[in-house]
Structure 1
């Protein structure tokens, strides 16, 4: 199924990865306005997830991470698989929760960070055994170490 919104999201993400974070942020914000707060859950989750990474403040990042998690609760496997047959909503959760844990940690809310990190760990088994799954598992380990050190510094790649 062709999905013009998911294509536009992908283009904006690539723009950000190429160094134009402000342009990517603007493109994704415009897509969010088009989709709306109650639009397609896959679109909302994807836009919010990527917009969070482009924010200049932890508070704004946290807001978008929360929107992404909120949107995933409205998403079904059936809808996700219309875009990509291999997708399962439960496999989205470790990344979404990891991002929330990390943002809360950097904001100094260590209790909330621990809560979201524990929730991310609960769903790690839903991740594929591939580079993506390895990246999220490594991120959980890095976030756990930073949380134990009570660090508010960004994680190192």
Structure 2
């Protein structure tokens, strides 16, 4: 029985991975459709690691920044639920926290909510110590630094140059 459950869980992660391949290949709509179907199957009560992973990638498949924020918040909630009462992150998601908080910071920045963006960026920076020393982790660290710079820069003139009569 346990072997069937593990195989089923592996199948969920495989299906998430397949949708992510579509997402990275530029087929956002199909990725969003597949991830949405999978979310409907596992639901709010599915395995925390599945919910966290799926919601994190579903956020990346969104076109609307508010929808992206909603999915990233679901991913963080699922990760926090895995921590349990002790508050210590589950080993399987400990390395997700820098990326989760970075995504939330970027979402809030897109929505022009700089205070929330800075809060999650600080959390991303604090959690980055749990990352390994590899290419993916270095990419997360670099993205944190880029967003820090962007948030510390004064706002530009806007999307359109000033009009002179």
Normalising by structure 2, what TM-score?
A: 0.82
Q: CA deviation at 1:89?
A: 2.2
Report the structure number with the largest CA radius of gyration: 2
The change in CA–CA distance for 1:74 and 1:150 in structure 2 (over 3 A counts) is farther
Normalising by structure 1, what TM-score?
A: 0.86
- Are positions 1:148 and 2:152 aligned together? yes
| Separation (CA, whole Å) in 1 of partners of 2:155 and 2:35 | 30
| Separation (CA, whole Å) in 1 of partners of 2:155 and 2:74 | 25
The change in CA–CA distance for 1:18 and 1:9 in structure 2 (over 3 A counts) is same
| Separation (CA, whole Å) in 2 of partners of 1:122 and 1:128 | 14
Q: CA deviation at 1:150?
A: 5.2
- Higher relative CO (Cα under 8 Å, sequence separation at least 6) belongs to 1
| Separation (CA, whole Å) in 2 of partners of 1:18 and 1:96 | 22
Following superposition, which runs of at least 4 residues in structure 1 exceed 6 angstroms of deviation?
Answer: none
RMSD of the TM alignment (CA)?
Answer: 2.0
The change in CA–CA distance for 1:148 and 1:95 in structure 2 (over 3 A counts) is same
Aligned pairs for 1:61-76 within 5 A:
61-75=68-82
Match of 1:136 in 2: 140
Query: Pick from 74, 95, 101: which aligns with 1:97?
Result: 101
Unpaired segments ≥5 residues, structure 1: 82-86
Q: CA deviation at 1:74?
A: 1.9
| Separation (CA, whole Å) in 2 of partners of 1:138 and 1:122 | 14
Maintained 8 Å contact 2:49/2:93: no
Maintained 8 Å contact 1:106/1:151: no
Unpaired segments ≥5 residues, structure 2: 1-5, 84-89, 159-165
